Amino acid sequence: MATPQADERERVAMRRALELAARGLGTTSPNPVVGCVVLDAHGEQAGEGWHRRAGGPHAEVHALREAGDRACGGTAIVTLEPCNHTGRTGPCAQALLGAGISRVVYAVADPDPQAEGGAATLRAAGVETAQGLLAAEAEQVNAAWLTSVRRGRPHVTWKYAATLDGRTAAADGTSRWITSAEARADVHRLRAEADAILVGAGTARADDPHLAARLPAPAPDAPA
């Protein structure tokens, strides 16, 4: 079924939805990260949200709550196809229908056989749908979850630090770090986004590494 092309406002909204989705990295597993922006009938942003934690409301629900009555006749921009099943929360496809959304633009189809089919449900109810807007970017932000669902295996990030001559530490053991403070901060961000951290047995015996994610505390007025 052919679907109308997204306009520039929808493209801008999808970029924002991707930014929102990334906020859930590290807190939503085993669920995907998802962002949603709701545009009202005039194309103005009315609400936004992201999936914050497994078991909590999905991105669409947060965005619809913020949009309120302005969602009716509007467009939902979502990084992942709205789910179509009832788990710890209800199906997002039904939430969108209940809010009176008239068009749904999503980046990536849901490959989970338990949750797929939201777009078909929406179309059957008369809602216009379009798939594929900024799909590559949406695949990237959800790489870990998509790998797990599509391939049945973990998504692995390999972190390796070495000097230009191939050394990982001083021969006499005096070195503590060979990376910059910025690089170490990036490593802790990656740790916070991962479900598990694996090191070799030799590293564990020699270094007894502290593998927790040590990130700076958020500012008191930082958004949740």
In the set 60, 66, 116, 182, the catalytic residue is 60
DSSP element (H, E) containing 3: none
Side-chain-side CA neighbours of residue 187 (13 Å): 15
What backbone torsions phi and psi does residue 46 show, to the nearest 5 degrees?
-115, -25
Per-residue CA distances from 219 to 215, 223, 224 (Å) = 12, 9, 10
The whole-angstrom distance between residue 36's C-alpha and the CA centroid of its chain comes to 10
- Nearest CA to 188 among 208, 221, 217? 217
Active site residue 139: no
**Which residues have a Cβ under 8 Å from the Cβ of 224 and sit 6 or more positions away?**
52
- Nearest CA to 200 among 159, 169, 167, 170? 159
Give CA–CA dist 147/139, Å, rounded: 10
Q: What is the largest CA-CA distance in the chain?
A: 71
Q: Which residues are catalytic?
A: 60
